Structure 1
Amino acid sequence: MTRTMARRGAQLREHILRTAKTLFLESGFERTSMDAVAARAETSKRSLYAHFPSKDALFAGIVELSRELYLEQIGVPDGDLADPVEAAARYCGRLLQVLLWTTSVQSLRMGIAEAERVPGLAAGYYESVFEMPTARLGEFLERRTVLAPATATATARALIAQTTHPDLLGCLLGVRPALPRRPDPATLEDDVDLDRIRAVAASLLPRGS
């Protein structure tokens, strides 16, 4: 296979994934057929099945794509900020901003709906939106504060838990509206209560951090 053909294959795969994700969010996993995905993606069923032999494989690909997009959007705690409390707070704010985005809320609901049938895929969502951000924050706290590794990880977990609750749960249950616009660092303070997050970070991190 030539390099040009490989690029086309990778581009087609991502196009199929993005199309399938849109369809799943519109109609639900069970009600979306592979025929519908092929038609919306304007590709042949042969090409679709060459990339994804089953709908579960397609869903797994969507989870992996979502993982990459989540982590890219959230990034890592800003090491350029002199105050690690502010860096941790802004990192948690970006995480919450991404989680409250309409598309994220819909994706999480879909993962919850399929959790019993395909627990491994639902676990992939959990790893993307909680485990990996916790690991990144824990590593940052270990480097920039006096916390020992195990304590840094535990503190990161507590900080993320306290800053995402209850807003995320409210969105998932439809009690509060999701954020309709794509997450943007420029609108962070408009989209989330950063002062509350700063207060949580200050209460959990050691003084002088």
Structure 2
Amino acid sequence: MARRGDALRAHILDSAKALFLENGFERTSMDAVAARAETSKRSLYAHFPTKDALFLAVIDRVDDLFQGRMRTPSDYADEPVEAVTLFSARFLQMLAWAPILQTFRLAVTVADQFPEAARRIHAVFFESTASTLSAYITGILDLSAPDAKAHATAILGASISPAFEEMLLGVRPTTTEIPDAETLGSDVGLAAIRQVVEARLASVATR
């Protein structure tokens, strides 16, 4: 049965995402996307009038998928330090997934010609994750939103560095398998992240 409506749109986005990651933004044509999605160019352009619009929609699709896999700190544990530790560890675990690293590299290549796309890719992974953690911290501590966001950003930054930079530059291995939150303990050094979280939350609580 031929795909229509939302099903066709989602299929086009998944096909386009694969092509952008394989070939880059510049070398991916709308013709190639239509062929990969097994749909007509007319149908493709009916959903996405330009390649720029398609690329931005792919980023939105990545956002939905990423946030769904990240969830919120309270989904990981009831105790605050453990919840923040596991959420931060999950962030590092997800960043080690090859398609996400490829998306970051893609953002670098389009930054000059398509800065809006690069900013939105950054927002998908860093801004959204920091906002989710910030909301949780605000709920457990008596902090203003800007202060909570600063602590969330600091915790996430310390949790992923220098591993993220090393993976981005190809000097640290990544995984082609979708990371499973159930294997956080073996995939990520939880003790180091827990130490960062304990110190940061304790410094706030004692003020």
CA-based RMSD of the aligned residues comes to 1.9
What corresponds to 1:22 in structure 2? 18
SS at match of 1:205: helix
TM-score calculated relative to the size of structure 2: 0.92
Q: Which whole-Å CA distance do the structure 1 matches of 2:76 and 2:92 have between them?
A: 21
Where does 1:136-147 land on structure 2 (aligned, <5 Å)? 136-147=132-143
Residues 123 and 208 of structure 1: CA distance in aligned 2, closer, same or farther (over 3 Å): closer
Q: CA deviation at 1:146?
A: 4.2
TM-score calculated relative to the size of structure 1: 0.91
The reply to whether residue 103 of structure 1 matches residue 94 of structure 2 is no
Identity %: 43
Out of 160, 168, 171, which is 1:172 matched to? 168
What corresponds to 1:71 in structure 2? 67
What corresponds to 2:186 in structure 1? 190
What corresponds to 1:33 in structure 2? 29
Q: Which runs of 5+ in 1 are unaligned?
A: none
Q: CA deviation at 1:8?
A: 2.6
Out of 40, 44, 69, which is 1:44 matched to? 40
What corresponds to 1:58 in structure 2? 54
Residues 93-102 or 76-85, more deviating: 76-85
On the 8 A contact 2:76/2:87 being kept in 1, the answer is no
Q: Which whole-Å CA distance do the structure 2 matches of 1:37 and 1:208 have between them?
A: 50
SS at match of 1:206: helix
Q: How many residues align?
A: 204
On the 8 A contact 1:84/1:145 being kept in 2, the answer is no
The reply to whether residue 85 of structure 1 matches residue 71 of structure 2 is no
What residue identity is the alignment partner of 2:36? R
Any runs of at least 4 consecutive aligned residues in structure 1 with deviations exceeding 6 A, and if so which?
A: none
Q: Which runs of 5+ in 2 are unaligned?
A: none
